[in-house]
Structure 1
Amino acid sequence: MKQTTWKKWLITLPACLGYLLFFMLPMVFIFYEPLHAPVETFNRMISDSYLLSSISGSLILSISASFVSLIISLFIAFYLSHCTDRVRQILSIMISLPLVFSGLIVAYGFILAFGRAGFITKTLGLVGIPEASFGNLIFTPVGLGMAYCYYLIPRAVFILLPVFQSFDWQQIKVSQSFGASKLQSYRFILFPQILPAMVTSLCVMCSVALGAYGTALALSGTQLNILPLTLYSKISDGGTDFPVVGMLSIILIALCLIFTFIAETIQNRYSK
């Protein structure tokens, strides 16, 4: 018995070392700098309006992009739940393709399509839409939100789809036979059952969007005032105030953990 336990610990040793060296140790260094003098570091951070606006800008951008992605994903998941198994499998593979690409590749793809010399920009220019105005859109927060939606939608679809598939659609027909309208049936029967999955997918997407910086960096450099790009600029531009950078990192981690905790709590309650 003791020999079996020792072998199990020996097998997991490489994974434990990797977890320690590449996750726990960097986290210790991140927390050490700001928490060495937490009050002073926090006061220095909140006195900088640029840093505070980067936090609010990240929250607004991530929540807005996640909400739009959720609305689109509802229609996609609803349609997939009514498809045949073969059609659903083919469409699911196509929908999951954005998850394969890194954020940089997604950004370059959007630039090639919607940039100042992009294919779609040039095509719309032929019908009278100004190329200069439309081509600059992708480099704004709206364009960045569009790029975020590209790889947030598949995540929401695959969370919502099992709920739509397991839903008993006979409930809608029964409610309508008792005089309820189609809108009332969807509102009072379908919506309460998919609401936990909606909130879960929204929280997951917000957590992903908050920490994503590759797409934002490729599209706007450090021109947009969002938290990941602020952290990048503070480190790459020869910044020396590492305690404040560490405090911003803790805030980013805390925000992602809050959204993840909400998603896990709702998912556990719904499963029970």
Structure 2
Amino acid sequence: MDVSSMREAGLVRRFGAVPAGLLLALFFALPLGALVVSAGADHGSAFMRLAQDPLVISAFGHSLALALGAGTVSLAIGLPLAMVLAAQSPERRRWLLAMLGVPLAFSGLVIAYGFILAFGRAGFVTSLLAHIGADPASVGSLIYTTAGLVMAYAYYLIPRVALMLFPAIANLDRRPLEAALTLGASPLRALIDVSLRELWPSIAAAWCLVTSIALGTYGTALALAGTQINILPLLMYLKLSDGQTDFPLAAALSLVLTAGCTCVLALGECLARQRRN
């Protein structure tokens, strides 16, 4: 390596992180600081109002249940899907990966409207089920409930799980698995005791990531349920609506939601690190 290349490498090591640091400061640190200042106005009374508001406590419980349900359903479907991807030929895998990327290109509003057209009270799936005796009113109202939100969230969270776990499964060393099968273990036993033990850090990280996304998702819930379902993102929307603008309380809610998402992600990192150690 000549002198100029060494100098360039030294500059990259010394100043290469500066653009990322500036972006982090402008688009994360400054907005977060503004939230802290707004929530701390009037000696932090917004946090006291949050703790005393039963609506906020209920919203936190509903948000947590929704996030856990969506994350678990997405993992339960995304993990086998990633295994199927890893077993495909390279040509077929490229097509499947391209198809998996389609839901990720849609916004939450587009997904919500698609679910309404398919599973709403006048949706084509609801109409088909009505022909075989199902009650269209009951079936069509399902997507406007918490269970419906779990289905809508899982639509774009399942591809994330599959795309995250596919590389880990494709690069998994199969020799311990084949040794367990040779020694008499059943395929299911070998899968649980050998493969899943190796994949546990990736599985935990994927579950925590999609759960944190579901905890803070806003557009899909607003388009599907409006403000009928009491979850934290929609409660923040109400606090910032034209009728009742309450910036300190909305800022405090934002910090609570940010802390919840951060805790879920930190849990995944702790589980993964504990397993690696």
The normalised TM-score by structure 2 is 0.87
Which stretch of structure 1 is more off in the superposition, 136-145 or 241-250?
Answer: 241-250
Deviation at 1:192, TM superposition (A): 0.6
Partner of 1:149: 154
Unaligned runs of 5+ in 1: none
Q: CA deviation at 1:239?
A: 2.2
**How much does 1:255 deviate?**
1.1
Query: CA distance change for structure 1 residues 187 and 15 in 2, over 3 Å: closer, same or farther?
Result: closer
1:91-120 per-position Cα deviation (integer Å, ceiling 9, x unaligned): 011011111000000000100111111111
Deviation at 1:70, TM superposition (A): 0.1
Q: 1:56 to 1:10 in 2, by over 3 A?
A: same
Match of 1:86 in 2: 91
Task: Tell me the residue number matched to 1:204.
Answer: 209
Question: Does residue 58 of structure 1 match 2:70?
Answer: no
- Counterparts of 2:176 and 2:19, CA distance in 1: 52
Q: Does the C-alpha gap of structure 1 residues 177 and 56 become closer, same or farther in structure 2, counting only changes over 3 Å?
A: same
2:139 pairs with 134, 139, 160, which one? 134
Q: For structure 1, which segment, 156-165 or 14-23, has the greater mean C-alpha deviation from structure 2 after superposition?
A: 14-23
Question: Cα 1:179–1:38, aligned 2, differ >3 Å: closer, same or farther?
Answer: farther
Q: Spell out, residue by residue over 1:228-255, the C-alpha distance to the aligned partner (whole angstroms, 9 max, x if none).
A: 0000011114324432222111010111
Task: Find 2:235's aligned residue among 227, 230, 234.
Answer: 230
Question: Would you say the 8 A contact 2:59–2:232 is kept in 1?
Answer: yes
Q: What percent of counterpart residues are identical? A: 41
The question of 1:114 aligning with 2:119 is answered yes
The 2-side partners of 1:15 and 1:165 are apart by: 31
Cα RMSD after superposing both structures: 2.8
Q: Which runs of 5+ in 2 are unaligned?
A: 1-9
Residue aligning to 1:164: 169
Q: 2:195 aligns with which of 190, 196, 199?
A: 190
Q: Distance in 1 between matches of 2:167 and 2:31?
A: 37
Note if contact 2:86-2:169 (Cα within 8 Å) is conserved in structure 1.
yes
d(CA) in 2 for partners of 1:70, 1:10: 39
Task: Give the distance between the partners of 2:179 and 2:43, measured in 1 at CA.
Answer: 60
Once the two structures are TM-superposed, the CA of residue 211 in structure 1 deviates from its matched residue by 1.3
